[in-house]
Amino acid sequence: MHKGVHQFITWIRDNPEFPDVEMADAASSSALSSIEDRIHAPLPEDLGIVLQRHNGGALPSGTLLSAGDEGENSILRELIDLAARLGCSPHDPEVLLPFFRNDDGGVLAFDRTAGPVADTWPVVDYYADSGDLRLVHRTFDGWCRLSVAEWTAPDFDEAFTLTKYLESGQRHVRMEPDVSVAHATVAHALRRAGRPQEALNNYLQGARCLPSQPWSDWEALKLAVLLGDTKSALEAGGRISSRAPQSRWAERETTPELVAQVLGGIADKIVPKEAVLRLLDQLADQATSDEARAVISGLRRALNGGDPLPPPNPVRELAVAPLPDADAFFEALRQAYFEGRVRDDDLLLEPQYQALRKTHDFAQILRTPREF
């Protein structure tokens, strides 16, 4: 029995009166076999150990699904429903194997596509409303360890705050440093806490994990350019410019021309310039319209000294109109960023903000703390 699984079972046994905990009987061998018969594969050993001691029931962060029939809150019922939402058969040998339903509506499941051996299946979460699917734990034992750490944290019963969110992400990173979403959580919290350099470092660390959150490099690139960090911009830009199908670009939450324009904001500081030119060539090859290719070509010509650097294309309507006084304009932008009306994309891609970027340090705007 792995350490985390032992901690999980022991905590449930020792905390029957803890709020939202519902004790359950042990699963029978026939109940476990009913799942294995349906999926035509053995259950992960650690899941079987847990169910043999606590066959489903409410826990502080959600509901552990039970082995047995196809009733409510059972693994088999959730398997059938999940397969229907994913448009596949519950008998499909690669369909996700659910075992837990989070309080926020997500379902934790084993990713059976990871290999033929059940004990190597990682844990993913799936949200029916959005269809989002991401790896959240490398192992079931990792989920058990993090669950106990969350339930025993001093702030578990306290209201949700930015500090609580950050500390939760940091616990996850300590326990599973090779899980991308853990680093992304910390990065997002640090970004809102007004600590952009630390956020950038965590986005990059998350992007180095396999598999990575596809948008981590996009977030890292934007921060790197605003901070003037050429090394980080090249690292993030190199990965996000790599050739990929359109479906992957959708997951990256950006486009080749947007990446090119953001790179343009730091290109004159990167030596040698050929490093940026190579990325622009990759991006131009992946652009999906003549207009997008023209944008990237204009940037390339400017870097080669043939034309002035073209202004970027805005991604949203203008949120803060320029003011005659530059300091007042900068303060208005900072306040709009604090309120969520201006984002990093706007600071980088709104043409009417570019003159102000030459006289004021936009990195100071990023250092504005913002609670949830």
- DSSP states of 248-311: HHHHHTS-HHHHHHHHHTTGGGSSSTHHHHHHHHHHHHH--SHHHHHHHHHHHHHHTTSSPPPP
| In a domain? residue 237 | no
Contacts 24+ apart (CB under 8 A), 198-201: 199/223, 200/224, 200/227, 200/229, 200/232
Task: Examine residue 121 and state whether it is found in any structural domain, yes or no.
Answer: yes
- CA atoms within 13 A of residue 15's CA, in its CB half-sphere: 16
Residue 24 dihedral angles phi and psi, to the nearest 5° = -135, 155
Is residue 181 one of the residues assigned to a domain?
A: no
Mean pLDDT estimate for the chain: 95
Read off the pLDDT band of 304 (50, 70, 90).
confident
Tell which of 151, 184, 202 closes a domain. Answer: 151
Domain that holds residue 335: 314-372
288 inside domain: no
pLDDT digits 0-9 by tens, 126-139: 987 777 889 999 99
Q: Among 10-24, 159-173, 327-341, whose mean pLDDT is lowest?
A: 10-24
Q: Residues 337-359: pLDDT tens digits?
A: 999 999 999 999 999 999 999 99
Which residues in 130-280 belong to E strands, given as ranges?
133-137
Does the residue 226 lie in any domain? no
Residue at a domain's end among 122, 151, 180: 151
Is residue 221 within 8 Å of residue 205, measured between CB atoms?
no
User: What's the CATH code of the domain at 56?
Assistant: 3.40.1580.10
**Would you say residue 180 lies in a domain?**
no
Number of domains in the chain: 2
Residue 139 lies in a domain: yes
Question: Residue 174: CB partners within 8 Å, gap ≥ 6?
Answer: none
The number of CA neighbours under 13 Å toward the Cβ of 58 is 9
Apex 299 CA angle, 367 and 351, nearest 5: 45
Q: Are 312 and 351 in contact (CB under 8 A)?
A: yes
Domain boundary among the residues 90, 118, 151 is at: 151
In tens, the pLDDT along 104-127 reads 889 999 999 988 899 999 999 998
pTM: 0.94
- pLDDT (0 to 100) of residue 351: 96
Distance CA 234, CA 225 (A): 10
- Is 346 inside any structural domain? yes
